[in-house]
Each structure stands twice: as structure tokens, then as C-alpha cells.
Amino acid sequence: MKKFGRRADEMPVRMPGAVLVAPPPAASVQPAPPALPPVEPGAAPSPPSLFASAPKREEPSHHPVMPASLRERVIEQIEPAVATTVSRDVLRRQIEEIIHGIANQERLELSGREQLFLAEEIADDMTGYGPLRPLLLDETINDIMINGPSNVYVERAGKLERVAVRFRDNDHIASVAQKIASQVGRRVDESSPMVDCRLPDGSRVNIILPPLAIHSPCISIRKFPSRRYNITAMIENGTMNAALGQLLEIASRCRLNVLVSGGTGSGKTTLLNALSQFIDHSERIVTIEDAAELQLQQPHVISLETRPPSLEGTGQVNQRDLLWNALRMRPDRIVVGEVRGAEAFDMLQAMNTGHDGSISTVHANSTRDALTRVENMVQMGQVNLPSRAIRSQIVAALDLIVQVERMRDGQRRIVQVSEVIGLEGEVITTNDIALFEYKDEDIHGRISGTYRSTNAVPKFKSRLVYYGLDRAWADAMRQI
């Protein structure tokens, strides 16, 4: 909006405890406000005004101003450069005053609650993520899924529910998406309509725009939990029992290579974070992720994150590149947030080159499927490598596979822990250290069950003996 010099009667007045605010517009039937005293030559200039210019005088309308029109009139009076320098509360209060002034001038029937709602909405758009703000602040929400302007779902306690959150239109969703991506140096537009990124608090975000998303831009947010879950907390909430928790603690302390497997939203990353709590604080850890979200608690952690290609298609850095670089950084352990492609081969190589105790995650339906998935991903980058050679690498690298699942009652549980034993012919052999068996469900639909174990001597018994934890492992196995 073009800015013109102000007359004396258009100069802003100072509101108590806030930045400068322009007076509310006056209807043509009302007397003009008295002029302020002229500014004396040499006087100190006024602080920057939040508002771009004083409101224009207009003839009274015969019809109420529509909310969209009211929003536009309010935004026209806001100086963006100054709005970014004030707190959200100050901005919201002053926007509310302007709305009140316009409503009085136009004789609009807007309640105080409606005026406050509109002021909150505009302030959120200018300082945050618009309608997403209350959802991001709600600690009971784990996931946010925006499918359209009036089609928003959240996940609470493992169950999806639709919420009464509304965006104005598809452009409003796209604007919020671009703001999220730009904060971490990513871009999302028609030429690059898909992106994985994160919010400043670490929450994971996926964005996909038209024409790939046919009806509307879609945003999926996996929220960053304010509470760090450890093994004890996961035992308390029913993810595992105490004996299984003890086995996983021993596995981490003995530097076993662990692959966490499960479906989307099953709790793989949460479990990986919990397992990391037993890593000794003297170790150097390098984490590799597409979008950084791990919450390792050790002091010596190097976090690496992939980079998408530039507008010219250059400068891309993928997980495989980061793995190659991590091997030159003298890591004690390498933690790969999620293996999705050809970098699976490099992950196995890292586990086989002295970096014991590495942890990673993969999408799969069972521990057996996880092995097949890893093999297929290795073949993406090593086409000419024989299947037996790949399976030999897998057997040498992996010690345990932990399967997590979000069950139909919404509870996330460890349903299977398998040990990778070896090769028999062309087949990788495994042994179930613990397998969840369904028992029944209560009147609230909550599932209960028990773990079954074969109590076989593990392949890595020598490692347990080396760390002096063989008796503790045997005791925990008896309690499964």
C-alpha cells in the first residue's frame, strides 16, 4: 500500500503500554477528531507506527461489512515491518482496537467475542501459523492432519478425530505451509510441491501442494512431545512390561545394533529416543535424519540433516552422503533416524566397521518383513550385489529387531523382539526373544495380553558376558 504524508489530524496517538495506534475511522456524519498539536522543529521523531496509514474516511455503508472485507480493512492499516517487532499480545490488543473502531463506524453487530476472535486470528496469521496455533499448544494432540480448509483432523491417545478448526481457503493453507518451510531453509511451491521439514520445536512436518494434492494443500504434523519418554515412562503407559524394558536396557548398554521396525505413527522414534538414554555420556554420537527430530540426552551429539536440491537442481545432500561423512567424524555410535533407500547398505557397513551400538528405524509390518525391507533397500543402490552377500551383511550387522505397533485400542506396544541369528542356506534365521500374545479386552476396549519367549541362549551371549550383564539378561528372560 502506498504511503503518503500525514496531516496533523491524522497523526497516531500513543496507547498506554503499546506501540503507536491510529485513531479509529470516523463516519461522515460524525465530527472530525480534533487536530493534535503540530510537531515542533527539531523534536525527536515519533516511534514507528504499527499501522501503515490513518484509515480513510468513507461513506457509511447500507450493508454490514462481511468478515473478509473487515479483515482486509484491518490488515490494510497494519504496518508489517513494525508488527514483526512487537509481541503477539501487543499486536492482538491493538488489532482488536482497530476492529472495534471499524465496527462502531459501520454500525456492525459484532459482539466482543467475535471481535476478539478476529483479532486472535489476524495476530496468529502475522506472528505464527494461523489456525494451527491452538492445536500446536494442545499437549494432548500427537498428530495434526490438514486435508482442506474445513477438513482438519488430530490424533489423541491413538485415535483420530475431526476438529472445528477452519482455514479461509486453500491459499491460506499454502501460505502457512510456505511459512513453515521457509523457517528451516526449505521451499515449497508449484515447482517443488513436496517437502519434509520441521518446526522450531522439532515437530516433523510433511507438506504436499497441488497439483500433486488434487483438492487442497495438505499438511501433516507429527508433534514434538514436551515430555521426553524414557523406558520407565513407556513401561508405565503400557508400551512394554518391566522385564522387556530391562532386556532393551541391557541391549543398549551392551552396544547391540538395534533396528526398530513399525508402521507410520507406531512410536518408532519415541522408542529410539528411549533406548538412547542408556548410551554412556562419554561416547560420541552422530545422528543422521531427513528432518531432525531425535532428542538424544547425551552431551556429545552431532546432529546431521539432509538438504534438498536448489532451484537449479544442485547442492542436494542425502542420507547416504551424510553416512559417508559420518564415518570420517570418529563416531562411537551412528544413529540413523529412518532408513528409506540405498543408504541401508551404508548403514550396514557402518555397523560392520566397529560402530557397535548403532540404532535405526524402518517401516515394516513385522521383524521378518523388516529384514526383507532392508535387503530390498540395499539392492536399490547395489544392483549387482548377490542376495546372499546382502543377507550375510545383514546377519553380521544386526543383533536385535524390535517391532512396535499402534493397536486398535490406540495403545502403542512392542509386539515382537527378534534376535538375528544367522544364515541357513539362503534364509536368515531369527529367534523371538519376546512375542506379544493377545488375551482379551476390557469394557473400555483396552487390549491386554502377555509376552511369550523361547528362553533360548542368544547369539550375542559373549557380548553379555563381556559387559557383565549375562546374569541380568537371564533374570529378565525368566520374568518375560
Domain spans of the chain, in order of start = 16-29+48-127, 132-222, 231-479
Residue with cell 462502531: 104
Q: Could you tell me if 472 and 466 are in contact, meaning their C-beta atoms sit under 8 angstroms apart?
A: no
Count of helix runs (H) and strand runs (E) in the chain: 15, 17
Q: Write the DSSP symbol of residue 317.
A: B
Ranges under pLDDT 50 in the chain: 1-66
Alpha helices by DSSP H, listed for 343-452, are 343-351, 367-381, 387-397
Distance CA 472, CA 251 (A): 11
* Burial class (CB within 10 angstroms; exposed 0-12, middle 13-18, buried 19+) of 409: middle
What nine digits make up the cell of 410? 490406540
Domain 132-222 fold is Beta-Lactamase (3.30.450)
Q: How far is CA 213 from CA 97, 132, 147, 194, 220, in A?
A: 39, 20, 9, 10, 13
Distance CA 380, CA 395 (A): 19
Q: What is the value of pTM for the model shown?
A: 0.73
Other beta carbons within 10 angstroms of residue 324's beta carbon come to 13
Contacts of 476 (CB under 8 A, 6+ apart): 243, 244, 246, 247, 250
Q: What pLDDT, on a 0 to 100 scale, did the predictor assign at position 170?
A: 93
DSSP string, 156-207: ETTEEEEE----SSHHHHHHHHHHHHHTTT---SSSS-EEEEE-TT--EEEE
Start-to-end CA distance of the chain, whole Å, equals: 70
Q: What pLDDT, on a 0 to 100 scale, did the predictor assign at position 391?
A: 93
Per residue in 177-213, pLDDT tens? Answer: 988 888 877 888 888 899 888 888 888 899 999 999 9
SS3 434: strand
Alpha helices by DSSP H, listed for 107-169, are 112-127, 132-137
Q: In what order do the strands lie in the sheet with 333-336?
A: 301-305, 285-289, 333-336, 359-363, 258-262, 400-406, 412-424, 427-441, 447-452
**132-222 and 231-479: identical CATH topology:** no
Domain 231-479 coded CATH 3.40.50.300: yes
* Burial class (CB within 10 angstroms; exposed 0-12, middle 13-18, buried 19+) of 176: buried
Distance CA 269, CA 262 (A): 10
Distance CA 282, CA 280 (A): 5
Q: What pLDDT, on a 0 to 100 scale, did the predictor assign at position 83?
A: 66
Q: Could you tell me if 279 and 378 are in contact, meaning their C-beta atoms sit under 8 angstroms apart?
A: no
Q: Quick one: CA dihedral 279, 282, 283, 287, positive or negative?
A: positive
Q: Write the DSSP symbol of residue 307.
A: B
Contacts of 434 (CB under 8 A, 6+ apart): 244, 247, 414, 416, 417, 451, 452, 453, 480
Q: How far is CA 289 from CA 41, 189, 265, 315, 409, in A?
A: 60, 23, 17, 17, 30
